[in-house]
Structure 1
Amino acid sequence: MYWMRLLEGVSLSKQIGVALLPLKKLAHGLLPAMSFTILGFCAFSHAMCAVQVTPEHLWPHTFWYSFTSLITQGLPEHPPDDYLELFLLYGGVLFFSIFVMNIFIGVISEQYASEKEQGDVMFERVRAHSCLNYLTRITVLPCNLLTPKAAALLALGTMALTLMLQLGVLYSRRPVPGILQLAAFIASQVVLFMVSIQCKGKSFPWSQHDGAKRYLWICEPSEPSSSRDLRSPWAQQSNDSVRLVEAVERTLAMNLDGMRQVVRSEMMASMSVAGRDSTWPRSDGPEVVNQDKEPFFKRWGR
């Protein structure tokens, strides 16, 4: 626990955190390769336990033998008497040393390279998360108990006392009971945490528990609408859709105009043919109609 807390504190340093945080993120990328390795190790242990001439217990003897042979690649001093067991041992060692280890090396290299590119952003995110936790905790915990100077002195005294206790146990070579170690660890952690948020006499906004809402404003430089639309893929797709709709509308309008022209031409042609084949009525006599063909239209009235 001490070393984990020390690692957490060291990770907040920019020089160390940028290089250390990608290593901490490698565990997520190694899960598939680790699952494959565990499955292969269990299969080899089961097979080795099944083919042994003098069978031993699966746990811990066969597992220990498999781990020594596969992971550490340490062959036994004397080869097994059974050829099947010998061939299985050779095949397992070759498979793990050539195939599985190369998979781990490739996955670790690729994952670290991808995480290294985001090292600065990852470090800023971790630091911002730490600041957010700090501001959230001090809104519900008392922070007006000590002044910053008194809190710093108390923190130094606590660390010195903890170090002296550790050195005393190492030199006396007398183990401290586990319950006392746990109590000392919890007490030192609580004291160091509480003194880190003490700000008595300071006019910090979080020192007053008034319950008022506060907001975080984030400002970004604005861009012209034209350049922003050109850079946005959604805006580009929207512009393409608008242009497509306009082209379809123009095509439909042209087709409608063409259809109107065709209909108008057909009507004029029909009217001219009907006019030639029919006799128009006069003003001084009845209407005379051609009996061979019916006129296209009749004139009503005079």
Structure 2
Amino acid sequence: MKKIALLLPDQFFASSVTALVDLLHITNGCWGRDKPPLFCWQLLSATGDAVISSSGLKFAVEGDFSRAADADVIYLPGVGYRDLAEYERRLSSGSGLCARILAWQREGRLLAGNCTGVAWLAQSGVLNGEEATVSWWLSDWFRRRYPAVKLRAHAVLVEAGNLLTSGAATSHHNLGLRLVERFAGADLAMMCARLMLVDIRRESQAPYANFQQYFGHGDALIARSQQWLQQRLAEPFRLDELARAVGASERTLIRRFRVALGDTPLHYLQQLRLHAARRLLETTSLGLEQIVAEVGYSDVSTFRRLFKRELACTPGEYRRAGK
């Protein structure tokens, strides 16, 4: 029997916990009611006391985080926060939990994080040098705060040895099904996926993401630059032309882009073009060649490779996912 410890930090998402418990329960049923359960689980809080989820639901627990020491899998659910500054303070003050995560890694435990909860794994350092994913809306912040992590921003699920990370919200289903597959095989995982109506094959968060991470920075120079690039989306990019248009040196422009957006002007333009292409894939029946031309590219194969690299799916897969 495999033991799963679900850690419940402050403001955890209830569904990030209950959905995984439901999946484990369903898996035990599919495994066979005449057999010993395949999984058992326990809910743990920092103090061992009952804890309140971000939605106000109260959860009883079986003890504090130290009880996870004998677990095969340690899982950190998504968590809510008022703003990123508040969440950063919470992460920075969580040295006790981070120390436990490092110790569990050294002991060979499988560590799993969902949604915003992936930040706890990154904060502890166990993701340094490893591939991981996170909620799509945190991707720019995550890259800036944890540059040693090899972020696959739009991936639904990333597995790196004994580290499992999943993206936004309901990707906890994919994480849970991967645990089932890992411990009990692909056939049982597929059976559970069908019962729960979960697409076990989805690989990208991109069809659900929007462009909000590129706004709200408060830098007037960068805002003018964004507007200028938006108006000339299909034109060839020249940094010197952009700098002259907004009245700044190229060096200043690059520096301010990095501070405001965590990006370069050219990569930002690529993201802008990809965002426009996504909207055209979603809302029109235009062929890919027409869409590529609309957003400033001349070579379809180059665009297709860029789309796959940045969004973890092909344009065709993206269009089908949106239907």
TM-score per shorter chain, which class?
under 0.3
More helix by share: 1
The structure with the larger Rg is: 1
| TM-score, scaled to structure 1 | 0.17
| TM-score, scaled to structure 2 | 0.16
